[in-house]
Amino acid sequence: MRHLPTLATLADDLASGRTTARKLVETCLERIADETGEGSRAFVRVDGEAALATASAMDILRKNGTAPSAYAGIPISIKDLFNIQGQITRAGSKVLNDAAPAMADAIAVARLRSVGFVLVGRTNMTEFAYSGLGINPHYGTPLNPWDRKTGRVPGGSSSGAAVSVSDDMAHAALGTDTGGSCRIPAAFTGLVGFKPTAHRVPLEGCLPLSPSLDSIGSIARSVACCATIDAIISDRPAPARSERPLSALRFAAPTNVVLDNIDAEVATAFKTALQQLRDRGAQIDEIAIPEFDRVAAINAKGGFTAAESFAWHRDLLASKTGDYDPRVSVRIRRGTEQTAVDYLELRTQRKSLIEDTARRIAAYDALVMPTVAILPPTLNELASDDAYGRANLLALRNCSLINMIDGCAISLPIVRAAAPVGLMLAAGSGKDHALLSIAAVTEKIISY
Helix (H, G, I), strand (E, B) or coil at 431: coil
Contact assessment for residue 173 and residue 158, using Cβ atoms and an 8 Å cutoff: yes
The single-letter code of the amino acid at 355 is: E
- Rounded Cα distance, 56 and 219, in Å: 25
| Residue 161: closest CA among 230, 219, 228 | 219
Catalytic annotation, pick one of 93, 131, 157, 437: 157
| Residue 153: closest CA among 138, 162, 141 | 141
Contact assessment for residue 406 and residue 331, using Cβ atoms and an 8 Å cutoff: no
- Rounded Cα distance, 72 and 85, in Å: 20
- Rounded Cα distance, 160 and 338, in Å: 32
Helix (H, G, I), strand (E, B) or coil at 164: helix
- Rounded Cα distance, 240 and 354, in Å: 27
Helix (H, G, I), strand (E, B) or coil at 148: coil
Catalytic annotation, pick one of 93, 164, 166, 181: 181
Residues present in the chain in total: 448
Catalytic annotation, pick one of 79, 93, 215, 329: 79
- Rounded Cα distance, 427 and 431, in Å: 6
- Rounded Cα distance, 442 and 4, in Å: 19
| Residue 442: closest CA among 314, 251, 266 | 251
Q: Annotated catalytic, 79? A: yes
Catalytic residue IDs: 79, 157, 181
